[in-house]
Amino acid sequence: MQFNSYIFILAFLPFTLIGYFLLNKYGRNTAAKVLLLVMSLVFYSYFNYKYLYIICASILINYLFSRLLLDAERSGTQKKWLLFAVISLNLLILFYFKYFNFFIENINLAFQASFTLKNIILPLGISFITFQQIAYSLDSYRGETAGYSFLDYAVFVAFFPRLVAGPIVLHGEIIPQLGEPKNHSINYENFSYGILMFAVGLAKKVFIADLFAGAANWGFASVGSLSALDAVIVMLSYTFQLYFDFSSYTDMALGIGLMFNIKLPINFNSPYKAVSIPDFWKRWHITLTRFLTKYLYFPLGGNRAGRVRTYVNIMIIFLVSGLWHGANWTFVLWGFLHGTASALHRRFKTQWEVVPRVLQWFFTFLFVNIAFVFFRADSIGQGFGLIKRMLAFDSAGISPALLNCFELPFITGLEKALQISVSGLDMAMFMAFTFVIILCFKNLNELEFRPTALNAVLTVLLLVCSIFSMSAISVFIYQNF
């Protein structure tokens, strides 16, 4: 079940909202939480009901370990072993479902072996759930959790708005809000703002991300036949697709959370406005950066153990980030590139700061684009193949098949009405429009929202237009991680 599907928008979400607030209205907060948990598990099982036992068992086992870690009578050594056991268990589950075949493929390649690969389907949100529960276990070990009830913990882990692709939330960001009496009734400001965020996110997905997806998919499937200009457009198309796909999901997730009076942490903040790679990572997948910084970078010593050790620690967290995104050497290379760029920025930060700001932005954006080539490529060879095509400097124009990916109905109709054919008009207008949105517009979290009649009308129009424009349901990119 996708956020951008009719069954979710017209049935699942309204039913869950009505049931949740009706139960709370009559003082049945526990029953409301149970409903929220059950519906979250229904949402999860809709993707693959056979894996429902995984999330249920994972929640139960992690909760039991957290209770043991909070036991004040246990010695420090016992708690360390318990922490080691629960983290190992979570990582082993993640390894099996996400990395087992990748590991076997490389064993076969390195030793000319012929071990059989397993037919493994990646469970929904397993990377996000794993990191979230590891964070909770570490916080329990440090005595930073409050010994929540099993129901509160289960809702915290399974809360459906953030289940597919984050954000990676901490216990203090959800559980206390569930118990706040003021959150048990509809807050019309939160509700209207949540609908606006959902509508804007859906529009980004339907009208922008999915259009760029067609160009990116065509280009990466046709690397060998691309002209230099084709290759540049394909690279930009994926960069824009990923931006609006992730941004749309984040807006929709935060919007749904607000409808339930749950404020989820901001996970996306105009990353393509960044003027350095560290700045990029303060804006892109913010909660993943926070997790890796708090639970890996600092325990490794952070920047307190000398320059070389700091660079090593930076590289470690970016390699982990790369592997977390996917079981492919392309993601490892992507992480390595960002780790190298971050270490170089730390080394030459003073020199970088004297570079004109517009050049800082340009080189950062260029680097992010090139690195994303490997993020999208099926293999490192395919990624370098696309870069090689960009550097070919041939005189060939834009392929007609690529232009067709950018056909917008209202522009195509204008061209037919005027009996003209402007090569590349659709694409040029759409690219320019996209740049304007990325660089000039503010994020929703930066705007001051007021629940006025005009905003209500605009929200409904945007939502209705987006719903009627949905065709084939496309998955969110980060759902695959």
Task: State CA 358 to chain mean position distance.
Answer: 27
Residue type, 250: T
What DSSP letter does each residue of 387-401 carry, written as one string? HHHHTT-------HH
What is the dihedral angle through the alpha carbons of 225, 472, 200, 190, rounded to the nearest 10 degrees?
Answer: -140
Residue 1 lies in a domain: no
Measured CA to CA in angstroms, residue 442 lies from 23, 244, 436, 458, 476 at distances of 37, 14, 11, 17, 23
Q: Are residues 157 and 304 in the same domain?
A: no
Residue 89 lies in a domain: yes
Q: Are residues 243 and 130 in the same domain?
A: no
> How does DSSP classify residue 378?
S
Tens of pLDDT, residue by residue over 412-470, are 555 555 544 445 677 788 888 899 999 988 888 777 778 788 888 988 999 999 888 88
Q: Are residues 179 and 217 in the same domain?
A: no
Residue 125 lies in a domain: yes
Tens of pLDDT, residue by residue over 235-255, are 999 999 999 999 999 999 999
Residue 342 lies in a domain: yes
Nearest CA to 214 out of 409, 471, 427, 406 is that of 406
Q: Are residues 262 and 276 in the same domain?
A: yes
127 contacts: CB under 8 Å, gap ≥ 6? 94, 98, 324, 325, 481
pLDDT of residue 423: 54
Active site includes 338? Answer: no
Residue type, 196: L
Given 161, 185, 209, the domain boundary residue is 185
Check if the beta carbon of residue 396 is closer than 8 Å to that of residue 228. yes
Given 185, 214, 240, the domain boundary residue is 185
String of b and e for 142-166 (b: at least 16 CB within 10 Å)? eeebeebeeebbbbbbbbbbbbbbb
> Model's pTM, two decimal places?
0.91
Which tokens sit at 127?
Answer: 């990377």
Given 185, 207, 225, the domain boundary residue is 185
Tens of pLDDT, residue by residue over 54-70, are 999 999 999 999 999 98
Omega within 30 of 0 (cis) for the link into 167: yes
Q: Are residues 329 and 441 in the same domain?
A: yes
390 contacts: CB under 8 Å, gap ≥ 6? 228, 231, 232, 235
Q: Are residues 162 and 224 in the same domain?
A: no
- CA dist., res. 249 & res. 31, Å (int): 28
Out of 285, 325, 338, 345, the active site residue is: 325
Q: Are residues 166 and 17 in the same domain?
A: yes
Q: Are residues 180 and 199 in the same domain?
A: no
Residue type, 195: I
Tens of pLDDT, residue by residue over 113-128, are 888 898 888 888 899 9
Check if the beta carbon of residue 386 is closer than 8 Å to that of residue 377. yes
Residue 129 lies in a domain: yes
Q: Are residues 163 and 276 in the same domain?
A: no
Count up the domains in the chain and report the number. 2
- CA dist., res. 288 & res. 282, Å (int): 10
Q: Are residues 212 and 310 in the same domain?
A: yes
With vertex at residue 432, the alpha carbon angle to CA 426 and CA 438, rounded to the nearest 5 degrees, is 130
Nearest CA to 481 out of 356, 330, 340, 317 is that of 330
Which domain, by its residues, includes 456? Answer: 191-480
Tens of pLDDT, residue by residue over 281-316, are 999 999 999 999 999 999 999 888 889 999 999 999
What angle do helix axes 13-25 and 228-259 make, rounded to 10 degrees? 20
Residue 307 lies in a domain: yes
Q: Are residues 370 and 279 in the same domain?
A: yes
Residue 301 lies in a domain: yes
Residue 243 lies in a domain: yes
Q: Are residues 303 and 365 in the same domain?
A: yes
